[in-house]
Structure formats: C-alpha cells, structure tokens
Chains A and B, each alone.
Chain A
C-alpha cells in the first residue's frame, strides 16, 4: 500500500514540476556557495582563478595545519606578508586562509600598518596571542586547518535544508487532505484498513519521500563538495572556523563530526516538519490549505525570532527546525548558552533533539487516532 501512497503523492504533474524547480534551485545554491565562493579567486581574467585557486588555497592551508600556537600564527602571518609581496597581490589571488588568520590575530589598529599602501609589512605589527582568543578549550588542543571550504559546505547545508523541507512539505502536504478534497474519504474510511493500515502507509510514504529527498540532496552536495574541495581540513576544530565566532564552543569537535551532527539534527528537524505537515493535512479539507498552513508553520518561528530577540520565547524558538537547521546559528547559540534554555551544551542538544523527536511521535500518534476515529458529526 505504501507504493500506492507514494504514487499518489509524486506521480502527478504538480509534483514533477515542483521537483524540477527544486533541482534548478539546488543548482543555484550549489553554484552560489561552491562555484562562486571566495576560494575560487577573483574573475576569470585573473591569472589564478577557479579550480587552480581552490587547489592553491588548499595547499596553503594544509602547509599550516596543526595545533593552535602563537608560533604557528606568526608563521602564517609571515607567510602572508611574504607571498602577498612576492606575487599574490599582483595576481589578485585571494589567499583566504592566511587572510582570515591575519584578520583575526592582527588587532584592528595594526591592520592598515600590516597591509600598507604598497607592500604588506610585518614590521611593528603586533599579533594577538592565541590565549587571548577566548577559547574554552586550551588553544594547543585545538587544530587549525583548511576551514574555509567547510564554511562553504555548512552555509550551503543551511540553505539546502530549507529547500529540502519546502519540497518535502510541497509533496507531502496533500497526503490526507488530497483524499478529502477528492471526496475519497467516505470510500477509504469504509474499508477494512482505511482507518489503520492506510494511515500508517501514508505516514510511511511521507517518511520515505522526505528521507529520499534528504539523502539525495545530501549526497549531491557532499559529493560535489568532496570532488570540488576534497575533504581537506576535515579534522580541523570547529572553533577554528575563523568565519564563525565560536571560540568558546566547549566541546572539542572537528568538521567531520560537525557534518554528521548537522545531518542528524537536520534530519530530525525534517521528520518533525513532515509529521507536523501530516498532522495539518489530516485536519484540513484541501491540499492548498494544508500546503499553506504547513509552510506557514515551518517559517513562522523564523519570523518570530525577528520579533523576539531575547527572553524565553526566543529560547523556545531555537527548538524549531527552521531556526536550528542553520549550522552557524546553532553552533553560535550553543557557544552562548544564554541564548538557549540551559547553560549546558549537552543539555541543550538533548533538549532540542528530544523536543523534535517528541513532537514527531506525538504528531504521528494524534494523526493515527484522529483518522481512526474520524466521523463527521
């Protein structure tokens, strides 16, 4: 029966159209975050650009990979001064790694001096000691490495999960209301399994569809990431993604671990979203209404974060997928426990995951019972 339910949801022109549009948008997202990233260098007329610029950025980062020490930072900044003067400035090559290190460790009042008008100069430029960075974990236990491509990957994943969720909502929102709008409920509900197995099949069909979309999109994006940037820098500490300010993130975690963690949190969020969609669909009479209400429910926590920037409501809003599926925002919040309900990272992670799992389970049980007892009064 699951096969039939899947066919009902995806084998129609509207669904196929939605999938085609989603593929085009995904192409745009990949192009923006991977192909159009800083790591590709400047314009195509520059001597070093595109793939060559990516490889060179990777080489530079890998040369300086290792524990975060003052000595290493100094070497990176020296390297930047030397290479900028020698060739990179002339060739308009953006060495993202050393630029970010210099930006973070050379205090603002020395920046102009360092870059100078004609030459980059180390003379008289102070460097901030690594122990002033404010890390919770001792700096020497943190590993610096090729973080820039991973920043691009997590930015892309934060955008692509919205696309995945919207597509899944679009395809699944008619799971119950579609039958209702076709006046098929009286027929389905008067069959032996219309109030039991059918509901389970419908829920499973939405689970399979949304999981498939999620897996395909993740495979595509991570596959392209691996092909384009390789997985260089996977063991870099997430605190040393110098584009995020999460130095006080209290758990020693690398990018590969964060990737798995992100996949798990986003997947839980997707399941939460889909089961809420099923819930809404079981209470609405037509597909358009269930789509509109489901999308509203998905996006409204994000809109509310603009209204409620602090306080308990703001903390509660962080439990919703649209808010916590943004990797940067989530790890930033975890680094600043005041933003979340507990002052402890582990407790906040457990709370967020438990909330989504709990709502998803309660949602499915309510849908099941609602359909089982459905009778017009």
Chain B
C-alpha cells in the first residue's frame, strides 16, 4: 500500500508554501530535510489530513484519504512537532488513552503501551505523572504513542528535538528496526538523524522537492564542490564571503577551513568527500543568511 502525494499545493494568501509537490512513498524510511520554515510541518500535516491543501490530494491504498479517514487513521502514527501532554496522566495512562483512540481495546492498549515504554526506555517511570518527565523523556513518550497502533505509515515531525546523543542513537535504532513493513517519513533539520537510516532523502526548498534520492546519490551532486584548506594566522571575513563555510577547526598547523564552492576557493584548497551536512548547507546556507 503506497502513500501518494499528487500535485500538493498550499498557499497562505499570496505566499505559496508548497508548490505542486508529487511523490510516491513505499515501505522504507524517508528523511525530509529542510530549513526552519521550509514547509516541512505543513507538508506532514497535509499528509496526516490535519491541514487542507489548497489543491492536490493525498492517496493511500489508491483512495483519497478524506474518503475514508477512519481507515487511514487506523494505519497512521503521528508525532507532531509541538505538543504537550496531559500532566495529570502517567506515561502508561497516556499511551492507553491514545491506544483506545486508535481503536485498541483497553487491555491491548495497556499491553502494547508497556512494551513500547520498554522499547523507548521509559518502563521504570510508566506509573509516574508526565509532568515529572524531562524533555527527552516526553519526546520518547511521543515516539511511543506514535507506534501504539503498529501503523503502516509513521509520520515523525522533528522527532529528535530534546533528545540527548544516546537517546538519538536509540531512536535511530528503533526506527531502523521498524522500516521493513512501514512507510516512515521523518522531518528534521538535523542531518545526522537521517544520514544513516533514510532510504531516501527529500530536500524541501522553495515549496518543492529540490532533490530526492539516496544519501549517496545526493552526495554525488556536490561531489566536486566541497573543499578544505589550511590557513595560518588571521583570515579576513571578506576572503571567506565568496563561499559557504561549513566548518573551521583549530590545529597546531593553522585553521582548517571546510567550505562549499563550485570553484576552487584558493590554491591550497583540496577537494574532499562531501557529507550530508555539506549537502544541507549547500542548499540552505543562503536561505539562512537571508533570514
């Protein structure tokens, strides 16, 4: 069962946020990369049927999702970008509540809730009120709730916000283990979240998918544009203004600059293998500068 976006456009007044987007999602992990405000959340909310597109449709199982929302929602798990919890609920109660809303019996929701809390490492606090949870624990609870109905489609909007490095690794492992029979779309602006686990990366810019493909394919598009060079002493800002600075590292030999440029920035510069972070900056650094 594929999830299909057909000519999705979303405009708020004169401002077009999403412009004629089409894509077919099959089982696998999709990383949606974009700068803040690029329209990632809008797109995910449209996919979830929370926001109405100005034009275009979302199809699941070859039917427009609006034609049978209950069926669609019984196959959907969603972690919105921002949401709070009911502070008076315990973690397990919250999962039982969401589970029942997703059509599970109370017992099934409780059993599933206990196993998911264990999966996200919250089993020792399952009976504690959510208001005693840290930010990272709440986020893990959010991930658990999105999985409670064993969804065919899993939409995660900025799922790693608030997670520490260890929690992030755990999250990536959990998601990877689920990818065989699910469509997982996760939006992020943290490149490392998708670098190792995404089967396909979609770069959303100016309301369109600027690039899409595997990490390898996308990296090949900037294969000749990433450079490193070492400079001793002070470097004027002006001399760096012609290209995108990725990184600057102090070493005993001098400062190593990593830059993105279509032309060789200077004589000492050497071409290096690009990373996904370079790719991200390649697409979004100008946008960020213009903000």
Instruction: Kindly identify which residue among B52, B73, B79 contacts A191, using a CB–CB cutoff of 8 Å.
Output: B73
Q: Do A11 and B97 have beta carbons less than 8 Å apart?
A: no
CA distance A33 to B136 in the complex (A): 55
CA distance A11 to B87 in the complex (A): 10
What B residues does A190 contact at CB under 8 A?
48-50, 73, 76, 78
Subset of 16 A-B contacts with CB under 8 Å: A7-B86, A7-B88, A183-B84, A185-B50, A186-B50, A186-B80, A186-B83, A187-B83, A187-B98, A189-B49, A190-B49, A190-B50, A191-B101, A193-B103, A375-B50, A376-B52
B99 to chain A, nearest CB (A): 9
Q: Do B50 and A4 have beta carbons less than 8 Å apart?
A: no
Interface flags for A155-197 (1: CB within 8 Å of B; 0: not) read: 0000000000000000000000000001111111111111111
B289 at the interface (CB under 8 A from A): no
Closest residue of chain A to B86 (Cβ to Cβ) is A8
B169 at the interface (CB under 8 A from A): no
What B residues does A197 contact at CB under 8 A?
101
What A residues does B86 contact at CB under 8 A?
7-8, 182
Q: Do A182 and B84 have beta carbons less than 8 Å apart?
A: yes
B54 to chain A, nearest CB (A): 9
CA distance A186 to B88 in the complex (A): 20
CA distance A4 to B87 in the complex (A): 12
B196 at the interface (CB under 8 A from A): no
Q: Do B69 and A186 have beta carbons less than 8 Å apart?
A: no
Chain A, interface residues (CB within 8 Å), range: 20 to 34
B146 to chain A, nearest CB (A): 9
Closest residue of chain B to A198 (Cβ to Cβ) is B101
Q: Do A1 and B83 have beta carbons less than 8 Å apart?
A: no
CA distance A198 to B73 in the complex (A): 14
A44 at the interface (CB under 8 A from B): no
Q: Do A12 and B83 have beta carbons less than 8 Å apart?
A: no
B283 at the interface (CB under 8 A from A): no
Q: Do A192 and B103 have beta carbons less than 8 Å apart?
A: yes
CA distance A191 to B73 in the complex (A): 5
Q: Do A187 and B102 have beta carbons less than 8 Å apart?
A: no
Q: A7-B89, A191-B73 are in contact. Are A376 and B51 (CB under 8 A)?
A: yes
CA distance A187 to B145 in the complex (A): 10
CA distance A157 to B83 in the complex (A): 42
Q: Do B101 and A376 have beta carbons less than 8 Å apart?
A: no
Interface flags for B77-116 (1: CB within 8 Å of A; 0: not) read: 0111011111111000100011011110000000000000
What B residues does A182 contact at CB under 8 A?
83-86
B126 to chain A, nearest CB (A): 16
A291 to chain B, nearest CB (A): 18
A377 to chain B, nearest CB (A): 5
Closest residue of chain B to A11 (Cβ to Cβ) is B88
Q: A190-B49, A192-B74, A195-B69 are in contact. Are A183 and B89 (CB under 8 A)?
A: no
B151 to chain A, nearest CB (A): 10
Since A186-B48, A187-B78 are in contact, a sample of 16 more A-B pairs with Cβ atoms closer than 8 Å, ordered by chain A residue number, is A4-B89, A4-B100, A8-B88, A12-B87, A12-B88, A182-B83, A182-B85, A186-B45, A186-B50, A186-B83, A187-B79, A189-B49, A192-B102, A198-B101, A375-B50, A376-B45
B70 at the interface (CB under 8 A from A): yes
What A residues does B85 contact at CB under 8 A?
182, 184
Q: Which 9 A-B pairs have the closest CB atoms?
A: A191-B101, A182-B84, A192-B103, A183-B83, A186-B80, A11-B88, A192-B74, A190-B78, A375-B52
CA distance A190 to B79 in the complex (A): 10
Interface residues of A in 1-57 (CB under 8 A from B): 1, 4, 7-8, 11-12
Interface residues of A in 332-363 (CB under 8 A from B): none
CA distance A196 to B82 in the complex (A): 23
CA distance A192 to B48 in the complex (A): 12
Q: Do A191 and B83 have beta carbons less than 8 Å apart?
A: no
Instruction: Kindly identify which residue among B84, B97, B145 contacts A1, using a CB–CB cutoff of 8 Å.
Output: B97
Q: A187-B83, A193-B103 are in contact. Are A375 and B70 (CB under 8 A)?
A: no
Interface residues of B in 43-84 (CB under 8 A from A): 45, 48-52, 69-70, 73-74, 76, 78-80, 82-84
What B residues does A196 contact at CB under 8 A?
70
Q: Do A184 and B73 have beta carbons less than 8 Å apart?
A: no
Closest residue of chain B to A12 (Cβ to Cβ) is B88
CA distance A188 to B76 in the complex (A): 12
Closest residue of chain B to A193 (Cβ to Cβ) is B101
Interface flags for A189-212 (1: CB within 8 Å of B; 0: not) read: 111111111100000000000000
What B residues does A377 contact at CB under 8 A?
51-52
Q: Do B51 and A375 have beta carbons less than 8 Å apart?
A: yes
What B residues does A8 contact at CB under 8 A?
86, 88-89
Q: Do A4 and B73 have beta carbons less than 8 Å apart?
A: no
B150 to chain A, nearest CB (A): 13
What A residues does B149 contact at CB under 8 A?
192
Q: A187-B145, A375-B49, A376-B50 are in contact. Are A192 and B83 (CB under 8 A)?
A: no
A147 to chain B, nearest CB (A): 48
Q: Do B74 and A184 have beta carbons less than 8 Å apart?
A: no
B105 to chain A, nearest CB (A): 12
What B residues does A187 contact at CB under 8 A?
78-80, 83, 98, 145
Closest residue of chain A to B101 (Cβ to Cβ) is A191
What B residues does A193 contact at CB under 8 A?
70, 100-103
What B residues does A194 contact at CB under 8 A?
73, 101
Q: Do B84 and A4 have beta carbons less than 8 Å apart?
A: no
